[in-house]
Amino acid sequence: MSTVATLAMQEAARFEPRDRGARAVAAGPPVTDDAGLMARVVEGDREAYRLLVERHYRGIFGLARRMGLQAAEAEDTAQDVFVRLWDKRESWQPDGAAGIKTWLYRVAVNRVIDLKRKPQALDLEQAPEPVDERQGAFDGISQAQELSQLREAIARLTEQQQLAISLFYHQELSNAEAASIMGVSVASVESLLKRARRCLREIMAEQRAGERC
Q: How many domains does the chain have?
A: 2
Domain co-membership, 83 together with 145: no
**Sign, Cα dihedral of 200, 202, 206, 208:** positive
pLDDT at 22 over 60: no
pLDDT of 13 higher than 90: no
Q: Is residue 74 located within the same domain as residue 171?
A: no
Residues 135 and 105 in one domain: no
Rounded to whole angstroms, the Cα distance separating 84 from 68 reads: 22
Residues 85 and 161 sit within 8 Å (Cβ to Cβ) = no
Enumerate the β-bridge partners of residue 98: 95
Q: Which residues, in sequence order, are CB contacts of 102 under 8 Å at separation 6+?
A: 95, 173, 177, 180, 181
Q: What is the pLDDT of residues 63-110, one digit of tens each?
A: 999 888 889 999 999 999 999 999 999 998 876 556 899 999 999 999
CB-CB contact of 178 with 210 (8 Å):
no
Same domain as 193, residue 102: no
The domain boundary residue, chosen from 94, 128, 162: 128
Q: Can you tell me the mean pLDDT for 10-39?
A: 55
86 and 47 co-located in one domain: yes
Selected residue with higher pLDDT from 185 and 120: 185
Task: Say if residue 119 is in the same domain as residue 141.
Answer: no
Query: Which CATH number goes with the domain that contains 197?
Result: 1.10.10.10
Cα separation, 88 vs 42, whole angstroms: 9
Same domain, 3 and 104: yes
Q: Output the CA angle 1-111-171, nearest 5 degrees.
A: 60
Q: List the CATH number of the domain containing 81.
A: 1.10.1740.10
CA–centroid distance for 161 within its chain: 15
Distance CA 56, CA 23 (A): 26
Last residue of a domain, one of 106, 128, 150: 128
The rounded percent of the chain whose pLDDT value lies above 90 is: 45
pLDDT for residue 206: 87
- Which residues face 95 on adjacent strands? 98
The parent domain of residue 178 ranges over 129-213
Q: Answer with the one of 128, 148, 172 that is the final residue of a domain.
A: 128
Same domain, 114 and 140: no
pLDDT digits (tens, 9 = 90+) for 135-173: 444 444 456 677 778 888 888 999 899 999 989 988 888
